[in-house]
Amino acid sequence: QTVVTQEPSLTVSPGGTVTLTCASSTGAVTSGYYPNWFQQKPGQAPRALIYSTSNKHSWTPARFSGSLLGGKAALTLSGVQPEDEAEYYCLLYYGGTQGVFGGGTKLTVL
Amino acid sequence: ELQLVESGGGLVKPGGSLRLSCAVSGFTFSSCTMNWVRQAPGKGLEWVSSISSSGSFIYFEDSMKGRFTISRDNAKNSLYLQMNSLRAEDTAVYYCASVCSGSYYNWCFWGQGTLVTVSS
């Protein structure tokens, strides 16, 4: 059973910077896992933020960036805004066909 | 306007069946791989299944193989999920989500979800 692990919770001050990570139980995450990142606010559907490791959608705020960091996929928020408080999920692909979501990171802006 | 609208959720008894639909508008449905994702109450996201733009390639999360079937009708811009032998643990909000045109892995748009409750 493949497990994708994210930090359960993180807290950041407004204007600060925070990095969320996404690790695979099978080893280092590479671009071949096609990491995607999603934001979900309470009572809402998820929204896509980042695809294929580091690519932003047209609607993704510039303060969000994706990367590979220390064998993990990473989502960095620079200049955090109060509206960034949300749950964040990563998605990795295995064998090119099976998607597995991480357990999510609850980001608190305080 | 871009829309993905799920329907077909509801209350069903254990062992029962449901067919979910996702009606799509505002983008070229026939060019996009589509996915179903579910979220149990208070829990995280779980990938359920994907179907390629033509319907030729279908993949499922292992625990749902054999009970769930995914299909699409490109003429009707619609995606479906047939769920059989439902269990209490299948209780969740089910979302349809599209991959960006021309890609299998680059997720773009999500519907608002439909709630499936499996209970006697």
Please answer yes or no on whether B95 and A104 come within 8 Å at the CB atom.
Answer: no
With beta carbons under 8 A apart, name residues in chain A contacting B108: 48, 51, 57
Checking if the pLDDT of B103 tops 90, the result is no
Of A45, A51, A55, the CB nearest to B110: A45
pLDDT value of residue B62: 92
Please answer yes or no on whether A46 and B35 come within 8 Å at the CB atom.
Answer: no
Please answer yes or no on whether B44 and A101 come within 8 Å at the CB atom.
Answer: yes
pLDDT value of residue B112: 98
pLDDT value of residue B101: 74
User: What is the secondary structure of A59-102 as a DSSP string?
Assistant: TS-TTEEEEEETTEEEEEEES--GGG-EEEEEEEEETTTEEEE-
Indicate the SS3 state at residue A57: coil
Residue A71's alpha-carbon distances to A2, A33, B67, B73, in angstroms, are 16, 12, 35, 40
Token pair in block for residue B120:
């006697």
C-alpha to C-alpha distance for A37 and A30, rounded to whole angstroms: 14
Tens-level pLDDT at each residue, chain A (110 residues): 899 999 999 999 999 999 999 999 999 999 999 999 999 999 999 999 999 999 999 999 999 999 999 999 999 999 999 999 999 999 999 998 999 999 999 999 99
Closest-CA residue of A relative to B62 is A98
- CA-based nearest residue to A109, from A15, A7, A6: A15
Indicate the SS3 state at residue B64: helix
Token pair in block for residue A84:
């960034």
pLDDT in tens, B66-97: 999 999 999 999 999 999 999 999 999 999 99
